Structure 1
């Protein structure tokens, strides 16, 4: 009777584990090949934790037998140890082909993303359809608001920065950055001695910031050791979004607002993966594609408007070798479709109040 009951329990346990494998594989597929969602990520993590807990429990339940097996057949453990150590070293050191796995998934997500889930028309977009971030609220300057209606090419792998300059083009203040870029998560956190400095992500902003700081661009790039402050970073949007921030300088009257955006893996015929083999930055990280697009508008608080539309000036250098803007958009296809509209407002200054 007891062996029969034990067999039934084992069968039931095995069936439960097999059922857990199904959502684990499904969520793994979705996270790797499709756009990430919180619900899918929660399922994947929860099932993984349950399976890990069972594995630990199973090992402790059979620890005496496991010890005896290792003692009796130490040579059988050697191949498993070598393979495990090899996998661990390859992943931590970011060696081929492990480094290509992430790139392959990024390319797949970009090609397979469901545009209908990313693009929400403004006239249908109630406040719940906008990600709202309130940043730098402790500053003493006036409020500034960016409203972004995303386009058909906006995706998860986006580096995005918003900042202001004076009328002479001198960098003054960063207002907003996507957290993944601003905190240095676009580098390789598993091997900090060989972090990939993403100078090609938003090079126009980067070179302007480096000049203002009086440093080389390498030290101006946000990294794990030198991130942007918490008050100006927010999660990468997945839908239309609003950024509410404040200027640091309360006396600033005339200035320029710029936004620079770069979608990883947005390859096309001109900016293909093997287009510039002699460019070590472009061909090195494998996460580039079309260069960043820079948007601009000019604000004069002595003659305010109700809103200011940012227009595309051109694109940055493909690998961030300089901070120039190239107005020639030849070869740019989907990158210019990241945004349908970018609007800046100064809530404390309107055209009506100035009359």
Structure 2
């Protein structure tokens, strides 16, 4: 094929592809532009194929580096290798490589009045936990999220505690990294915090040696289900045993310190030795609940954990308070909490 003719064809298609590509990058989707870009991309590919056939000998020399110095012979493999790495990086969404696309996508969305939000999740696998049902809990952090501690547990339909499915290690051990300040430095130490997760603690119903329901001096029932407190969005994978034909409840209690509001201030309970004394308090712990019906014990089901109440502000009792008018910003610690229950697949 005439090289001049082929060159002009390729030049015109590249020009159209460049203009249509720029329009597609800066302006929201239009079918006419996308169609134009697609048709000329096909023509460009056909032209490139003819170009390769028409110039296979000189192109082969370029690739092989014939008659080139020693180091210039590695030019083609180096370029091909860098191209491959870039393609893999973009496909694997490595940090920074998709920044150009993300910026253009954000620009187009703003023109349409749309917004996109992406979330990264910390995945917590409790491999030692046994049971015939997989339990997955996904928590998406809200605007007020500040590393709350939490407990996840199972109850029967009457509200009787059955077992803990996950618990923040600081609660299961009562040991905090910033437990005591010696001079200018903080040291790990045991800190008793009955106000931390009081509803879970009283439902569990095991008193420690000092009379509090928060664990102390080891808790064998919690060893396999305790872990670090997540610092953002998280997904917990754990297990439990559910009997077919029975109803259950899964609850999550969370709490974070010093999130005061107009109803729960530093002076709200001046006669309470925990709230106005040793406690690291604020708004009380929040309890979320999902009711698991009989049908959930045999198939994969999804549930939304709903806010049902809050615990005692200083952990004095195991009462669940359901009037939520005085709870304000704490409601925004979690944006949503989704529970998935699925029976374990057995090998045949």
Normalised by the shorter chain, which TM-score bucket? Answer: 0.5 to 0.7
Cα distance in structure 2, aligned partners of 1:152 and 1:237: 15
Match of 1:147 in 2: 138
Structure 1 residue 322: deviation in Å? 1.2
SS at match of 1:302: helix
The structure whose residues are more often helix, as a share, is 1
Alpha carbons 1:122, 1:149 under 8 Å: kept: no
Whether 1:221 and 2:214 are equivalent positions in the alignment is yes
Match of 2:281 in 1: 288
Alpha carbons 2:208, 2:215 under 8 Å: kept: no
Aligned Cα RMSD in Å?
3.0
Structure 1 residue 227: deviation in Å? 7.2
Alpha carbons 2:134, 2:344 under 8 Å: kept: no
Match of 1:308 in 2: 303
SS at match of 2:274: coil
Alpha carbons 1:183, 1:228 under 8 Å: kept: no
Residues 133-160 of structure 1 show CA distances to partners (whole Å, capped at 9, x for unaligned) of: 111544132111001111111113x220
The structure whose residues are more often strand, as a share, is 2
Residues 258-315 of structure 1 show CA distances to partners (whole Å, capped at 9, x for unaligned) of: 0001111111122111221111110112410000011001112435563000100111
Cα distance in structure 2, aligned partners of 1:216 and 1:255: 31
Change (3 A) 1:215 1:265: closer
Cα distance in structure 2, aligned partners of 1:137 and 1:343: 23
Change (3 A) 1:228 1:184: farther
TM-score, length-normalised on structure 1?
0.56
SS at match of 1:283: helix
Match of 2:329 in 1: 334
Match of 2:164 in 1: 174
TM-score, length-normalised on structure 2?
0.57
* Pairing 1:91-110 to 2, within 5 Å after superposition: none
Cα distance in structure 2, aligned partners of 1:346 and 1:275: 40
Cα distance in structure 1, aligned partners of 2:321 and 2:303: 23
SS at match of 1:282: helix
Cα distance in structure 2, aligned partners of 1:339 and 1:233: 20
* Pairing 1:9-20 to 2, within 5 Å after superposition: none
Residues 81-122 of structure 1 show CA distances to partners (whole Å, capped at 9, x for unaligned) of: xxxxxxxxxxxxxxxxxxxxxxxxxxxxxxxxxxxxxxxx99
Cα distance in structure 2, aligned partners of 1:349 and 1:140: 8
Alpha carbons 1:164, 1:171 under 8 Å: kept: yes
Match of 2:243 in 1: 251
Cα distance in structure 1, aligned partners of 2:313 and 2:275: 7
Match of 1:117 in 2: none
Match of 2:230 in 1: 237
Change (3 A) 1:167 1:217: farther
Residues 151-170 of structure 1 show CA distances to partners (whole Å, capped at 9, x for unaligned) of: 111113x2200001000100
Rg larger for? 2
